[in-house]
Amino acid sequence: MSFDVALSGLNAAQADLNVISHNIANASTTGFKSSRAEFADVYAVTQTGLSRNAIGRGVDLKSVRQEFTQGGITFTQNNLDLAVSGQGFFRVSDAGATAYTRSGHFGVDRDGYIVNSSNQRLQGYQATDGVLSGAIGDLNVDFSDFPPKASTSVTIGANLDATSTAPTVAFDINDSTSYNDSTSTTVYDSLGTSHVMTTYYRKTGSNAWQAHVYLDNTSVTGATPITMTFDNAGEPTGGGVTTLPAAAVAGGAAPLTLTLDQNAVTQFGSVFGVNKLSQDGYPTGRLSDLDVDQHGNISARFTNGLSSVLGQVVLAN
């Protein structure tokens, strides 16, 4: 009897050491949750119940309970290294079957699927053109280029120096004395090719100016430059938005038709300065990286500075 009690203690101690060893061995395993051995007293009973004088039969391993307390979160250089803060599991597909894991070490395979080291595919809501679907499936990264968008509008905010002297020579972009100031911006055609649009400002009289617009050193406004007038407070008068004539571009792209908004151009008695210069086109973008936000939204970043939502990770609880 006493030998059995002592042996149960040794067996329990061995079981506890096994659990502790397992925890130590997986201390660096991503997403690992430690376990705890729980023991129970073994009572000596008879057919009529528990004896008042029963000493007990020792100890037994009742269960090995897994702890789900929040572990530490560390940052890595891989944007697809994910972590769950709080409760929940990543949902993954394993050869058609659904599995769950706390390990968030993921990457992208050659087919574009987001997978872990066991080649299980991360699941969530796939997006089409940035709109999330309502069905859960294997998340896939589209490696296609982001298509270009032709510029359609250019906005200029600037101040023209009211104290400037009107040039006396005919306008010529190669003669800096024939205009007062200029500013340039990059615009894009339908194929994503960049072009330099330059606006030359030439004072023609009191509170009166002309704007000559060129695209890649070729005149867009031609012999009819944009007329700009200002009141005695330096504010523009009349319409400040001009639809420019279509400009032919090389390479097979569609002619570039731009709307020039100069409502924010003023004429004060201070030096020329540009405070706003924007346009709405962009070139072709290649996939450069992936980002995942705190809500599980996976976004693709492209070389043209734009981003697009590819999908959203789902959690199972």
Instruction: Look at residue 31 in the predicted model and tell me its pLDDT.
Output: 66
pTM of the model as a whole: 0.74
- DSSP secondary structure string for all residues of 224-272: SPEEEEE-TTS-EES--EEEPPPB--STTPPPB--EEEEEEEE--SS--
Structure-block tokens of residue 199: 């606006």
- Residue 145 or 14, more confident: 145
Tokens 């005149």 -> residue: 219
Is a pLDDT exceeding 90 seen at residue 161? yes
Instruction: Look at residue 49 in the predicted model and tell me its pLDDT.
Output: 60
pLDDT tens per residue, range 262-278: 999 999 999 999 999 99
**Judging by beta carbons within 10 Å of its beta carbon (0-12, 13-18, 19+), is residue 297 exposed, middle or buried?**
middle
* CB atoms closer than 10 angstroms to residue 168: 7
Q: Left (φ > 0), alpha (ψ -120 to 50) or beta: where does 270 sit? A: beta
Pairing of strands 58-66, 35-42: antiparallel
Alpha-carbon distances of 9 from 13, 30, 42, 89, 144, rounded to whole Å? 6, 33, 11, 37, 64
SS3 sequence of 233-244: CCCEECCCEEEC
pLDDT tens per residue, range 217-270: 999 999 999 999 999 999 999 889 999 999 999 999 999 999 999 999 999 999
For residues 194 and 243, give the distance between their C-alpha atoms in angstroms, rounded to a whole number: 20
Instruction: Look at residue 47 in the predicted model and tell me its pLDDT.
Output: 57
- Residue 238 or 153, more confident: 153
Which residues are CB-neighbours of 314 under 8 A, at least 6 positions away?
Answer: 91, 123, 124, 125, 136, 296
Q: How confident is the model at residue 291 (pLDDT cuts 50, 70, 90)?
A: very high
Per the CB < 8 A criterion, the answer to whether 261 and 292 are in contact is no
The phi, psi pair for 153, rounded to 5°, reads -145, 145
* CB atoms closer than 10 angstroms to residue 102: 15
Helices first, then strands: H and E counts in the chain? 1, 24
For residues 132 and 125, give the distance between their C-alpha atoms in angstroms, rounded to a whole number: 6
**Which amino acid type is present at position 228?**
M
Which domains are seen in the chain, by residue range?
A: 2-66 (no CATH), 89-144+310-316 (no CATH), 153-279 (2.60.98.20)
Instruction: Look at residue 42 in the predicted model and tell me its pLDDT.
Output: 76
Instruction: Tell me the residue length of the chain.
Output: 317
pLDDT tens per residue, range 40-97: 877 666 556 655 666 677 888 888 887 777 777 788 889 999 999 888 999 999 988 9
